[in-house]
Structure 1
């Protein structure tokens, strides 16, 4: 399968990456953003609930993954920060005390609102989305990917085994520890169950981050509006396992 990468500003369609019958491109204007918001609403809230939109959409760049017919299959948005001192501008900073990360350095990328069309089962779409992210990271030299990884629903007890595994195996390094800021949070208790069953409770997107060496906060935020529990997640690009880096760059290459 052939692939190609272009700068955000190159090409009339803002193409980032194409592979086979799929392409990832930057949103070209308001209509593209509206299409992404509509897909997000469908993915997060179900049919007939309307689009998902917030104030941060205007400050983010949006990436759309489409097939050869132009159908939107997946999307995500990202906020590019030249320096970690700007991390207070991020979506995550509304819910977490990120003061320790202000000294991390930069550039950084906050990823958010990552979703696919409900019922989509083609893994090549997700591979292309991750290839596009890898291309953006390499192009700008981002040192840290971060964002909020969500668990569906707000029943914390359901996810206690998963939270225990996150605390035991994937806690943020002490120097980057994420503080509590939100009014309603769930503190992680020590692991009490067999890890294999607990891992099944961790959402696929978060498992992907963890597979790249990602780490998380020691608590989850209860988001009633989105009907989720989410955890802060950071991936230091220099620490991504070499085999995973090669695989992502092969897609982006």
Structure 2
């Protein structure tokens, strides 16, 4: 079983129904203010990663992986509910969809993110993953709050044409079409979600539109990271954490 311990924290794969409930409870706290557990039909298909504080056993972070053998099965992913992904059906290598990433709102130690990314690196290496993808969320549904961030995504980080997702969701913000502004780089990075910033530093790319998800109160973009394209220095850093 893949497991990683660094300092105060341990990352591991969920092994029981109780582990899954703990992850769903944390997601409910992070996404819905603790009003209810966050769960869906994909939970039973995924492997769930738990990051715990070793001393107390407190669950401080969780996310899930949905393994996909090749692009021909990408229509079975969570993201395919919101994006038309037929362009990725020609991707031959193993994929993994990463989703429902969340942190406990009372825990802000940056080492939590470091061990989470170290665990991702371990999982990707152990399973020969060639593409990691998912929906990356901005809080709230008012795109005006993120114009500089979206302008930056348009200018520097759009998916290659051969992989570009097309519109499927009923309500979207087509930032690549609508925005004509030059991004303010500082404002853009301040408004960019931390998870997306990390993807972009690894050479990640995004869809040309954001889906408006009223149920989750988010805007989200499809995000892909081709493992072979991650800059060598970034790979070395991730593997150092994983080692």
- For normalisation by structure 1, the TM-score amounts to 0.92
Q: Is the 8 A contact 1:81 1:106 kept in 2?
A: no
Q: 1:223: which partner in 2?
A: 213
Where 1:172 maps in the other structure, the secondary structure is coil
Confirm or deny that 1:150 pairs with 2:140. Answer: no
Q: CA RMSD in A?
A: 1.0
Q: 1:50: which partner in 2?
A: 36
**Please, which runs of 5 or more residues in structure 1 have no aligned partner?**
1-6, 9-15
Paired residues for 1:133-172 under 5 Å:
133-172=120-159
Q: Is the 8 A contact 1:81 1:87 kept in 2?
A: yes
Q: CA deviation at 1:251?
A: 1.0
C-alpha separation in 1, matches of 2:186 and 2:60? 31
C-alpha separation in 2, matches of 1:173 and 1:25? 34
Q: 2:229: which partner in 1?
A: 239
Confirm or deny that 1:91 pairs with 2:81. Answer: no
Q: Is the 8 A contact 1:97 1:179 kept in 2?
A: yes
Number of residue pairs the alignment of both structures matches: 239
Where 1:200 maps in the other structure, the secondary structure is helix
Q: CA deviation at 1:119?
A: 2.5
Q: 1:192: which partner in 2?
A: 182
Q: CA deviation at 1:70?
A: 1.1
Instruction: Name the structure where helix makes up a greater proportion of residues.
Output: 2
Q: Is the 8 A contact 1:168 1:191 kept in 2?
A: no
- For normalisation by structure 2, the TM-score amounts to 0.96
C-alpha separation in 2, matches of 1:193 and 1:216? 16
Give 2:61's match in structure 1, choosing from 68, 74, 86.
74
Where 1:125 maps in the other structure, the secondary structure is helix
**Please, which runs of 5 or more residues in structure 2 have no aligned partner?**
none
C-alpha separation in 2, matches of 1:216 and 1:83? 19
C-alpha separation in 1, matches of 2:82 and 2:174? 14
Paired residues for 1:196-207 under 5 Å:
196-207=186-197
C-alpha separation in 2, matches of 1:223 and 1:186? 11
Q: CA deviation at 1:20?
A: 2.1
Runs of 4+ in 1 over 4 A off after TM superposition: none
C-alpha separation in 2, matches of 1:119 and 1:192? 36
Paired residues for 1:166-185 under 5 Å:
166-185=153-172
Give deviations 1:40-88, integer Å, cap 9, x for gaps.
Answer: 11111113x1111111111111010001121101000010111111111
Q: CA deviation at 1:162?
A: 1.1
C-alpha separation in 2, matches of 1:190 and 1:38? 41
